[in-house]
Amino acid sequence: MSNYILMLEDDSDDRELTRSSVKELGYDIEIKFAKNGKEAFDILELNARPQLIFIDYNAAPEDGLQVLKEIKLVEEFKKIPVIILTDNADKKLIRSGYEFGASSIVKKPLSDEATRQKIDTFFNYWLKAAEL
C-alpha cells in the first residue's frame, strides 16, 4: 500500500486548509487532490492504491455518493476506506452513504480550528490506530 491519501475536493480553500493542517499537525503523508470524479479516477489509475479516500459530498458535476458508488464498483478499489465529507447531516444521505460502502460520513466543521482538530482526530485513528 502506498503512503498517500486521495481527496476529492473542488473548493480550493478547503484543499489548502487540509494541506496546511496536515503539515502543521506533523502527518507525513502526501495528499493527492482531485477536483471531480474523473480526476479522482485518473489519480487512482496512475498511482498505487491510496490508504484512504476522502470525498466531498458536494463535488461537482457528480455528487460524492455517485463517485463512491463508482469507486466501489472497481474490484481493486472496493476495500479502500472511503470517507464522505458533508455540510449537512441529512439522515437519508448518511444512510445512503453507508449502504453504498462508505467507511465513515463526517460533517465538515464550521471553523478552521475545528477542521484542524477533526483532521487530527481522524488521521490519528485511520493512520495510527486502524489496521489498513
pLDDT in tens, 47-102: 889 999 999 998 778 889 999 999 999 999 999 999 999 888 789 989 999 999 99
Confidence check: pLDDT of 2 > 90:
no
- Crossing angle of the two packed helices 112-123 and 12-25, in degrees rounded to 10: 60
Q: Which fold has domain 4-124?
A: Rossmann fold (3.40.50)
Instruction: From 19, 52, 59, 18, select the one nearest 38 (Cα to Cα).
Output: 59
Predicted confidence band at 32 (pLDDT cuts at 50, 70, 90)? very high
Model pTM above 0.85: yes
